[in-house]
Amino acid sequence: MPQPKYARESLTTMTEMVLPNDTNTLNNLMGGRLLHWMDIAAAIAAQKHSNRIVVTASVDNVSFAEPIKLGNIVTMQARVTRAFNSSMEVFIEVWAEDIPAGHRVSTNRAFYTFVAVDQSGRPIEVPPVIAETEDEKALYESALRRRQLRLVLANRLKPQEATELRKLLEIE
């Protein structure tokens, strides 16, 4: 088993400026472009944790809380919350900033799942995560429930086998 790594070691911050080519007809950042940037930032965090090539396995619900305007600076911060055998959950937060106006707003939050693979593309074991801060510990503890929900929704786990979800929902 690989040596455990601290969650903070995977912390990745990525910054982009919204340019005309990134926008829709309302001069807002296109959702697909943001998802692309988020995937890159989250993949870098997963690579930092695993020291391996990673592939995106899933993306949880991404809601667009606030429009991101032409000229805004977009900052994404991603970190691995927990590792499961060959997969890693990555939490990513997104902010948009209008620097001249001095206005910064949270726009998106999501969980991505990545799988580390070897040179042949086969899944490979990743290090466990060590959570230190209260936020890291809360994300770590709730990660198993999110994983079980993803697996149930993908028909890879039977609902009755989702032990953490059953506890949460108090199902006998």
DSSP conformation letters of 8-43: GGG-EEEEEE--GGGB-TTSBB-HHHHHHHHHHHHH
In a domain, 57, yes or no: yes
Type of residue at 87:
S
* Residue 86 and residue 76 in contact, taking contact as beta carbons nearer than 8 Å: no
For 160, half-sphere exposure in the C-beta direction (CA atoms, 13 angstrom radius) is 1
Count of other CB atoms within 10 angstroms of residue 34: 23
For 120, half-sphere exposure in the C-beta direction (CA atoms, 13 angstrom radius) is 3
In a domain, 19, yes or no: yes
Per the structure, the count of domains in the chain is 1
pLDDT score of 158:
87
Closest among 164, 151, 163, 15 to 89, alpha carbons compared: 151
- Mean pLDDT, rounded, for 85-101: 97
| Tens-place pLDDT, residues 17-72 | 999 999 999 999 999 999 999 999 999 999 999 999 999 999 998 989 999 999 99
In a domain, 100, yes or no: yes
pTM metric for this prediction: 0.93
pLDDT score of 171:
60
Type of residue at 73:
I
Query: E strands of 64-152, at which residues?
Result: 73-84, 87-98, 103-117, 129-130
**How many residues can be counted in the chain?**
172
Q: Which domain holds residue 23?
A: 5-131
* Residue 20 and residue 28 in contact, taking contact as beta carbons nearer than 8 Å: no
In a domain, 39, yes or no: yes
| Calpha distance 125→133 (Å, rounded) | 25
The CATH number assigned to the domain holding 96 equals: 3.10.129.10
In a domain, 145, yes or no: no
Q: What is the mean pLDDT of the chain?
A: 95
Instruction: Give every CB contact of residue 122 below 8 A, 6+ residues apart in sequence.
Output: none
| Tens-place pLDDT, residues 133-148 | 999 999 999 999 999 9
